[in-house]
Structure 1
Amino acid sequence: MKYTTCFRPAIAALIFAGLSGNAISSQGKWLQPKQLIVDNSLSKAQLKANEAAARKYATFWNTGNETLARDALAVNFIDKTPPEGRKQGPEGAILASRAFRTAVPDLRCDVEQMIISGDRVVSHLHFHGTFTGTFGKLKGQGQKIDFIATDIYEVADGKIAANWHIEDNLTLMKQLGAL
């Protein structure tokens, strides 16, 4: 994992030694960003909480483990950019994951970079897998799926309270054969 910080050297040493990567309790089991960028205005506790929520949520998208979504998302979670018909709250994200995993059972998600600043976390996600299931009326023929998404999380009390997201749906729809 590549780290970029805006911290003074002493604070950066704390990040490298105890707040990022495998050093944070069970975070070693959570998806790690390839590049983590943090600002110098956060307390250690806020940085740890924001990173944990974002990494749990990314790991949910990588594995489909719904417990991680429930742990990462606030009960009153708001999707600020939902597709038409998506339910709000944690169940909306969980149902979306289930539906997409029906189409792409081997779906994987990498975090190319994660930026943590204030109460926001920006995650640049890279999704990939094989379309072997069904997506609406489309049946997969083994097409490779490879697209990116960017999420902006608002984190409050260690949980993602809101999410603004944009996916490269044009690429995805072409790969699914919908276009």
Structure 2
Amino acid sequence: MKNLVKLVVITSLSIISYTTIANVLDPNIFVSADQSAHSMEIKEAAMNYANFWNTGEEKYAREALFKDFKDMTPPEGRKAGIEGVLEASRSFRKVIPNLHVEVEHLLITGDYATVRYRFKGNFNGKMGDIQGKGQIIDFPAADIYEIHDGKIMKNWHLEDYNTFFSQVK
């Protein structure tokens, strides 16, 4: 009986561990001039931020972003810093509750990471006067991060809103 209980516990822990690991993103394509500890630190910060957009979990944003993080290309009306990013994610997830992202390409050069994303989900919320009816959302975005001491200090980003808005009609 003890062996059966041990087997059930070990199997359960393995399933939980696998599920947790399966939710962590990896880039489809990863390019770095070197595989130094510095490059891996930059990759970790970039992927923590990607995991934030993939899950909406605040812990990933706080892990990825420098306390004085600056969005260099904020949309009009967005709060500055980490709080603005957290609010943007919550708002977008109201419109696309099953939002998830793929990291198609991660390029590391010096203190910078360039990430090519693909945002996917279904438009089921309400945005302005438009009520979602489950439309498929699939649009690209690109971010450039300046990273120091394992944290993103600055972010420049460009989302393909033309594609997004053509899909929510």
* Length-normalised TM-score, structure 1: 0.80
Aligned to 2:102, the other structure's residue is in SS state: strand
Structure 2 residue aligned with 1:33, among 27, 33, 36? Answer: 27
* 1:47-104 CA distance string (max 9 Å, x none): 1210000000001101111110011001111100010001111111111110000000
CA distance in structure 2 between the aligned counterparts of 1:30 and 1:46, rounded to whole angstroms:
21
The residue type paired with residue 25 of structure 2 is: L
Amino acid at match of 1:176: V
Give the distance between the partners of 2:121 and 2:21, measured in 1 at CA. Answer: 24
Q: Percent identity?
A: 45
Give the corresponding residue for 1:49. 41
Structure 2 residue runs of 5 or longer lacking an equivalent are 1-19
Matches within 5 A, 1:11-160: 30-40=24-34, 44-160=36-152
Cα pair distance change 1:28/1:141, threshold 3 Å: closer
Superposed displacement of residue 29, structure 1: 5.6
- Paired residue secondary structure (1:81): coil
Q: Distance in 2 between matches of 1:136 and 1:53?
A: 34
Residue aligned with 2:166, SS: helix
Shift of 1:27: 8.1
Counterpart in the other structure of 2:13: none
Residues 38 and 122 (structure 1 numbering): CA distance in 2 closer, same or farther, change over 3 Å?
A: same
Contact 1:36–1:115 (CA under 8 A) maintained in structure 2: yes
Contact 1:72 1:159 in 2 (8 A): yes
**Aligned equivalents of 2:109 and 2:24: distance in 1?**
20
Secondary structure of the structure 1 residue equivalent to 2:78: coil
Contact map agreement 1:126 1:147 (CA 8 A) in 2: yes
2:152 & 2:87 partners in 1: Cα distance?
A: 17
Number of the residue aligned with 2:14: none
Report how many aligned residue pairs link the two structures: 150
Which structure 1 residue ranges, 5 or more long, are not aligned?
A: 1-25
Question: When the two structures are superposed, what TM-score results if normalisation uses the length of structure 2?
Answer: 0.84
